[in-house]
Amino acid sequence: DEILSFFYDNKEIIDLNFSLDGYKEIHELNRPGFEKTMLNINKYEKLFGYKPLINAVVTKATIENTNEVIDFFLTNRFTKVNFSILFGQEDSSDKISNSMFNQFIEECHKRGLIMRQKVNGKKKYDCTKYGNLCGVGRTNIFIAKSGIYPCSRFLGDSNYLLGDFNSDFSDIESELNQYQTPKDGECYYETHKAGSKL
């Protein structure tokens, strides 16, 4: 409750999101605690007066149950959902292609879900896994317990560590400025993971 109050007091500058991949069976394929997540979402709604933004990972099971997943979000009045492709499991049977992901996004859009992929026609530098342009070296940093990285896909790779929780923002920015911004349509991780950061 104290943590939630902090986010409420800072709601003008921090947008709190919840990870929820769909109904219980879909959500718990990759994450535990569906009931706890829903309980915390309900606490959020009571305090803020509206539903939070949802982050959902799309797997093969999501694609195979497209209508049921969309029905779940709409029935529970989760109208703003940001979807991302499952990554980091290249050999997994859950992996999907970009075209499968894009077809899923189109179906969600048709059914009335509001997503980051369909906000407007402007270039959006964020992450290719969300269907946007890669933001490494432009707008992105990824913060985890193990440190701060230019992108979530570099998590745990000390060659790409920008700093930690004790680092000054100016030091992190200086480290980030060493990264050459990728061309539109390129993913920095895909292009540079085997090479240097420049």
- Quote the pTM value: 0.76
pLDDT at 134 over 90: no
Average pLDDT of the chain to the nearest whole number? 87
Name the helix (H) or strand (E) containing 125. Answer: strand 125-126
Counting beta carbons within 10 angstroms of the beta carbon of residue 21, is it exposed (0 to 12), middle (13 to 18) or buried (19 or more)?
Answer: buried
pLDDT at 120 over 90: no
The Cα–Cα gap between 127 and 139 comes to 10
First to last CA, the chain: 43
CB 101 within 8 A of CB 68: no
Predicted local distance difference test score (pLDDT) of residue 140:
80
Q: In terms of Cα–Cα distance, which of 28, 46, 29 is closest to 37?
A: 28
Q: Per residue in 135-186, pLDDT tens? A: 888 878 888 888 999 888 888 889 899 999 899 989 998 988 888 888 888 8
The Cα–Cα gap between 112 and 74 comes to 8
Q: In terms of Cα–Cα distance, which of 81, 82, 85 is closest to 97?
A: 85
**Confidence tier at 118 by pLDDT (50, 70, 90):** low
Q: Which amino acid is at 115?
A: M
Average pLDDT over residues 5-17: 92
Residue 163 is classified by DSSP as: B
Q: In terms of Cα–Cα distance, which of 165, 166, 133, 138 is closest to 150?
A: 138
